[in-house]
Chains A and B, each alone.
Chain A
């Protein structure tokens, strides 16, 4: 086989490898969301964050608007402090927006849901959401339910 054919074949091989990497990066990984991760960061305090993790989604009306960037325990207020990065295109959340930790489906992952309020002013970088609702812990709910059953019987 002559050198030209071999070189063309190797060129095709390398190009196919690069194309495969590119396809994996663009189609099935979060490369596309890296560009707009330069959002503004807001925070919220929760009594209990349940199974929330860093990189969990933040959504409003079911649409993903950002992601959790940090979770820490505030030992002064005995609360969890969750920092969220919101995409800059969604910059019109009123200051009385409520944040709650929800679960997608019965067994799904947990995410922060934002419920816009009615104020005229908007949340900006560094501001904190006052109205929060903790994660629903299924075991606690079942426990409370069982206790109330027992009360009714007695």
Chain B
């Protein structure tokens, strides 16, 4: 888009969609590079610091670890409280008749544009998503489907797109297939570049020719494995109509990774449900929320910032920060507390699953690149209040730091003073009491997992006939894996991502293979 007059003033800056330090020059480049280094240094510094303390100041390390274990127990209780509340709200929202809820509004002028970026996923997966959209209780003629394929995916993807258009073209108001060209200079191959291209194509070929107003179009971008619940669009419309500033708002559903939950291995199930639970917790504290994965936003808002960034990995959350900054802080996320179903990350083999889960979480945790972006632009945008900048900055910093350091400190380094401490420390009651105390506190924190286990059972799709009832027991007990999954599939990939960013070894977009076993 060479003409940038439609962009909001702040979005017209040349560095507005910066993806990494190397795209800047001079002082800005050095500052951005400094910001890229900070998260990795903070995390490594913390972990090495705990080891150093354990070795040279074991008493201080022991006090710190006891305090940290208590903090963890309280944090678990605090988050469990939010989780349980959101679970109640989510179930309530599922039980509501949203058609009746939106009956009072005049929304016939609204269009639902659904962008479905896909790569090499099977026809079965694409078809299931379109089927679920067709099954929603919403006027299909006001739904615009944009099936966004990739040129690099080859002929097979084009054949699937054509087949889908032929099958579903008449069901929806409009069905557009776009093909994102490969190797566009300045772009990173990935979901963001494909979605942006698709949105612009939809504007050119559908909205403008039909005179559809951008502020009358709600865009929902869904991963290709997303299966909608019947009232998603009614729920979305209700929240859009009741929002204080509907065009200055993104709408976030709860992604439940349970399409294939009965077939996925235990590790994949626990990791997937943990991600869901984290999003549920965030739904109850929207001031800390950014958009994640599948979400909805007005076309007007997207157009004003130039759509999703095409030069970085975590475009799903970056679009929120783009919108917040471009609107000088006057932007927010409204949690829908209404689910969309997606696939748990599963491969045909356990090892393959573990590799995929690791890579997916490495990609997700590479969202730390947003920290640099936010802080960089907070120094540039003077219209956002200092208080808000500090709050957001600290929340983001704490989030990325704790994601990496907390599990490792708790489950591994909690025992460091015992192994590394001085002989003087080893003779003390403190040295003997430390592992007992940490163990007991972690057991106490594990009660939070009981809540998780119960909630996860209520969110299961119907049991396939070939699956034994005993599997419910496995699904309940699997949560004891959490200490392991937190370290292997959260902390370590997070540290990996931060280290890469710190060293300037920038990541590319890794497409999660969608496999139905």
Physical interaction between A and B: no
Instruction: Using CB atoms and an 8 Å cutoff, list the residues of chain B in contact with chain A.
Output: none
